Chain A
């Protein structure tokens, strides 16, 4: 049975690119969304094995307020019903220190910067995260 990956991405071209890489080069089932509520719902329903999360989200809202990928991840990692699913941040925000800052703020499991120059590295990261599933540490309360 193939693993299921949920892609949270506001740019349709990039979302499609992820889908193509993950379905053609890997054997994953892909869902794409911008809606944080859908993400939570799917994880709770047990249909997701990993989340690829963009950071800049132009259209995402949760409880009526605009949210970015970091806030969604934080929400997932605080909720006992969703925290066990690994989250991979995939973002074009790749200034020095961004990785550490994002991981610390969101509690995400890993970070990969765009542009993704190696599809194989992406796949290997995803493989590692899924195999270590459930070992993620929830972020400290702020």
Chain B
């Protein structure tokens, strides 16, 4: 607002120049009308004066003529005799008649004369009596001695001194007349009577009228001359003014155009433009709104001759069909909108802040339109007395268009500058080349990346610098571009010094305003660092994924181990408690003497022993496992034959097999099965395997086979059964400690689930391996143990087996 403030005050000099030097056509017209009116009035006054004077002259002449006529008649009448005709009785006398005939003759001699009469003084001064009257009509005839009614006749008294006439015409139904009087004197000069004569005014008035008509005609002619002259002068002056104004407007337009080509800040440009526009149009008060591209509303951008308060009041409402402010309406309609004084639709409260505009201003708002889109609005305010004519609006519209072009140019210039500085400072390579592949432009980044310090890139071919592929015979870039119309992706840059690096580029066609393809533009960046980084990230990611997988695996194993451990504890507790129940129960019975015989007591004691023995087995299993866990299970390995151990294990299980009604078969070769073994531990292994086989087989057979495999030299011991088998999914769990196939309480076979774990460990400690196969639940089970054949000098394995620690 502060900058605008100074802007609105500065131009007052220029502002004063325009309107005072260039009065409006209206002013001129008003002035000439006034001058013409004055001239016409003056002419009228002159004509009137002359006419009045001439008319007075004519009137005087008429009076003199009437007075002279009266004097002539008076001279022809004898004074003494007239004096004698005072009374009525004289009528009919010869003397009287003679006089009357004389008088009648006199009257008839002059057709203008209406009446002729002789009067004698009455008894009082100013009173007159008729002596004689020259009228022949008896009905209106007066008689001698009748009193004379003077009426309005004022000059009759003057007749005593000499001939005279009335100043004014008298009038009755017969017409108007002028009365004249003359004294009748005796020989001594005394006035004895007077003669009155009434002369009709027709002739006199006719001449007066003739004169007045002439005067009027003369005046009208003069008026015509005056008006014509005035109009002619007005026209000349107007044309001259218009010519001046045209020159002025043209100069102003020129100035505006010149301002519009200047560079500088947009706001400065707008301010100078408003100056030029104000000078060109003669309207001092202006506002320029710019359309905010984001919000779409008009924002006050520059003003001229509008003070701060007025600027504050200028806030156009949103652009739209409902907009009430003239600027917004103009912006929406994309055409000029004017307001005339008295238009009540919009009040301009702000205008009150500017006395020379007043509260009821004329307004003209003109949009600046670009591509059917309003980009700005130029608004002018004028006092109620200055109306916007069609010429004004056209001029303002023209100015607005100029202003719009200027603003657009500034925007384009700043965009160009931005673009140029971007191209200079960016790290991206920008390379322009023509349709023949010759480089026309390369920005500093491209020069740094591709050229050496001495040579530029101008004029070089792109195909030597950018390789779509390094393979021999690959299509050059230009061919690819011609084929595909563009390129986007990675390629290899080959610098002037033949150094290669990978780059990611996009090549597009550059099109001029008319859509002609004239060149190619390549934008790209060196991605060698990025590629290194990507490789590194890739390998790190893979490492992390591997570690993560291992952790996940370990975690799963831990969770599983924890679960099986809890399960194992519960099962172990159960296995320990079950025989204890019998031990405690039977002991209680004996203790409390609730026995019926000595044999029963013995039976109870046996039950206690058997249960305790079972308890011992369970405890031993657990202890063995604890040793296996700790890696402290000591084996006394020696070279020897495995056959006796196998036979002993079979015999130990034979009773149980017999009891269950299943066959127990054994196949061993005739030659000894020499291997490294701890006979007690091997027996434990076989007992466990055979025990399981018998336990899980309800019918059919259990078979143990042993043989020596020549190559590689190994001892194979296989235990097969036709029992319940093991589901495929469970087979892997069998050699894991604490695990049993069926963890629920409906388990049909008792045991701690430790046997196979201990067995596997023992087999491994003897240098062997163990595996289990089953075709699935219900198809029997086959367990295979493989041991190395004993060799002379084989060292005893007493060291701890590493695999024990990890499981």
Report which A residues bind B (CB closer than 8 A): 11, 13-14, 16-17, 20-21, 24-25, 55-60, 66-71, 91-95, 98, 113-117, 119
Contacts and interface: CB of A to CB of B under 8 A. Distances in A.
A67 B744 CA distance: 10
B577 A115 contact: yes
B582 A17 contact: yes
B569 A95 contact: yes
A25 B594 contact: yes
Contacts of B2: none
Contacts of A24: 589, 594
Contact of A59 (B581, B583, B748): B748
B150 interface: no
Interface string B574-593: 11111011111110110010
A11 B574 CA distance: 13
Interface in B553-575: 569-570, 573-575
A114 B745 contact: no
B580 A115 contact: yes
B582 A95 contact: no
A116 B610 contact: no
A59 B578 CA distance: 16
Interface string B729-761: 000000000000000111111100000000000
B578 A11 contact: yes
B749 A14 contact: no
Given A14-B578, A56-B574, A92-B573, A117 B748 contact: no
20 contacts: A11-B578, A13-B582, A13-B610, A16-B607, A17-B581, A17-B585, A17-B586, A25-B594, A57-B745, A58-B747, A59-B748, A60-B746, A66-B748, A68-B745, A91-B574, A92-B576, A98-B570, A114-B577, A116-B585, A119-B588
B747 A115 contact: no
Interface in B121-169: none
Contacts of B338: none
Contacts of A92: 573-578, 581
A30 to B, nearest CB: 14
A96 to B, nearest CB: 10
Contacts of B581: 14, 17, 92, 114-116
Nearest to B745: A68
Contacts, number: 85
A103 to B, nearest CB: 14
Contacts of B750: 56, 58
B497 to A, nearest CB: 80
Closest 3 CB pairs of A and B: A92-B577, A68-B746, A115-B581
B328 interface: no
A20 B227 CA distance: 156
Given A13-B611, A114-B578, 20 more contacts: A13-B610, A14-B578, A17-B582, A17-B586, A20-B585, A21-B585, A56-B747, A57-B745, A57-B746, A60-B746, A68-B744, A68-B745, A68-B746, A95-B573, A114-B581, A115-B577, A115-B580, A115-B581, A119-B588, A119-B592
Contacts of A114: 577-578, 580-581
Interface string B45-63: 0000000000000000000
Nearest to A114: B581
